Chains A and B, each alone.
Chain A
Amino acid sequence: MSEYFVLVDCNNFYVACEQVFDPSLRGRPVVVLSNNDGCVVARSLQARSLGIGMGEPFFQCSRRLQRAGGVAMSANFALYGDMSARIMCCLQSILPGLEVYSIDEAFAKVPAKTARKTARQIQKSIPAWTGIPVSVGAAPTKTLAKIANRTAKKDPAREGICVLDREEDTRRALAATPVRDIWGVGGKKADFLRSRGIFSALDLCRCDPEFARTTMTVRGWQLRMELAGKPCLDLQTQPDPPKSIISSRSFSREISDPDSLRQAICAFAARSAERLRERSMHTSCVHVSISTNRFHSGPGHAESAHAGIMPPTNNSATIISRAAELAEKIMRRGTGYKKAGVMLTDLVPENRPPTFFEAPKEKRRKEKGLLKAVDSINSRWGRGTLRWAAAGTDRKRFWEVRREKTSPAYTTKWEDLPVARIG
């Protein structure tokens, strides 16, 4: 029995979440901004038609938005995360064996015969249950399902559903998909393909197999097969273990005071170590990076450095002190920095085999107990209840995300429930 891949993707997810609980935002130009209200990360249909681009810096479009009676919101990840969990839970009841691909997308497999019926059911029940509109694409391969989904979104006549089960229909959808919009084709690869006269997904699918084999990577070859309807990629229901953990921020103002910058970096290191422990992993390499404002003219400074840690650890104290040393090394006096970050790489599972450099057993046991106590206190009483002194002791921290226009946590805080006015 042949199977189809289904891709469910929420339409303008972040904006749609805001509109569920604040109906006055419906039908208006609405954008959601990234951390620190820097860039546009989601747009309503009406905001798109104002010409506001994805990733556009907010200062470039705020006037345009305002003049059109539009609204800008800070990202409210507590809300989006909860709505995503609800959507995935609802989807799981219709499509067992879901691959959650991102916060607002999921793949699944269905029998080819029932693909259209299932797609219709999903397209009806997700908005009914959660208020979030979705588009559904179905096709014999994952790459084609992505294209089907894009087609469902672009062509209003399809009413949010596109099943590529007829040759003629598939051909037309492929012809209408430029190479840069194919899943897994980056900007550079798209430029290369265009230079070889391959402009659409259809061109790629029909290109000379000899050319494909000699000039493309394995991934490129797979792509061509997938576009031709021969599945190479399967569902990934077990997510890959993370290869790195990153904690970084743009500051709301430029920071030239070395103590402040070091404190911020220590705070990022502490947060990264916390996330490392949540995943039960150890790191053996710490990276620190700093940079000046890239929107300013004049000479900037961006630098990063890394240092190894042996034996691998998830102890905040070790990671923080290594990060602080690196920060000291790369900071230039008198330079105002706008962004800093800490990245942990070379991750291994916590229950790794021992190295030659392990601390005595008793010391390790104590260390682990301390970290466990810190984590459980912070999880019970809120993140930051117990903090590492190197990260500064001020309650108000300049690197903390600026979100001036955040909506309430409608679904995750009792004080923030949506209000219905009744007289």
Chain B
Amino acid sequence: MRCSTDIKSFLPETELDLPLYLSAVQAGFPSPAEDHIDRQLDLNEYMVQNPAATFFVRACGDSMRDAGIHDGSILVVDRSRQPGRRSIVVAVINGELTVKRVEYKDKDLYLLPENPQYPEIKITPEMDFEIWGVVTGTVCRF
């Protein structure tokens, strides 16, 4: 399929850096910190290891409350990561996206909530199930 859409390269740079410190400029004397000026901190670099494979997903609901995922949290999901034991993942169950902790018990795969009010889900072969990506962090604003 030939298409006229421009393909722009993926730019992982952030627009906003957080300065380590701010110091007023003094005329006359060179800043004693000059030799120590470091790179500024970049939240993207902290949150995202593989930009091409990282997606943001909004959580809706409170079944993962005790894992620090609240209603409205933005999840950082890295699809290039292999899920490990007890990883928190975004999964597809029966055509819907959900977020749970995965765990194997006696070779059975379970999806565990992080809120005692919700039940565990045992994954059975007849379920339409797939791990969509591994949640590597959450972002929320107050």
List residues of A whose CB falls within 8 A of some B CB. 13-14, 23-24, 26, 41-42, 77, 80-81, 84-90, 93, 100, 102-105, 125, 128-131, 246, 410-411, 417-423
Contact = CB atoms under 8 A, between A and B. Distances in A.
B62 A85 contact: no
Given A86-B53, A128-B79, A420 B97 contact: yes
A130 B77 CA distance: 11
Nearest to A42: B1
Contact of B57 (A100, A103, A105, A417): A417
| Size band of the interface chain B makes with A | 35 or more
Given A418-B57, A420-B58, A89 B10 contact: yes
28 contacts: A14-B1, A23-B92, A23-B95, A23-B97, A24-B95, A80-B5, A81-B6, A81-B8, A86-B52, A88-B7, A88-B9, A93-B52, A100-B7, A102-B2, A103-B7, A128-B79, A129-B53, A417-B56, A417-B74, A419-B57, A419-B59, A419-B60, A419-B97, A420-B59, A420-B60, A420-B97, A423-B61, A423-B62
B99 interface: yes
Interface string B97-110: 11110000000000
Contacts of A411: 55-56
Nearest to B91: A420
A422 B9 contact: no
B73 to A, nearest CB: 10
B67 to A, nearest CB: 10
**In this complex, which of B55, B57, B100, B130 has the most chain A Cβ atoms within 10 angstroms of its Cβ?**
B55
B87 interface: no
Nearest to B8: A85
A128 B98 CA distance: 18
Given A86-B52, A90-B53, A129-B79, A422 B100 contact: yes
Given A102-B3, A104-B1, A130-B52, A422 B69 contact: yes
A338 B57 CA distance: 40
Contacts of A419: 57-60, 97
A68 B97 CA distance: 24
B51 interface: yes
A246 B4 CA distance: 10
A89 B9 CA distance: 7
Nearest to A13: B1
Determine which residue in B1, B2, B61, B113 has the highest number of CB atoms from chain A within 10 A of its CB, and name it. Answer: B1
A100 B98 CA distance: 34
Contacts of A105: 1
A233 B58 CA distance: 46
A103 B5 contact: yes
Contacts of B62: 422-423
Contacts of B130: 23
A26 B55 CA distance: 19
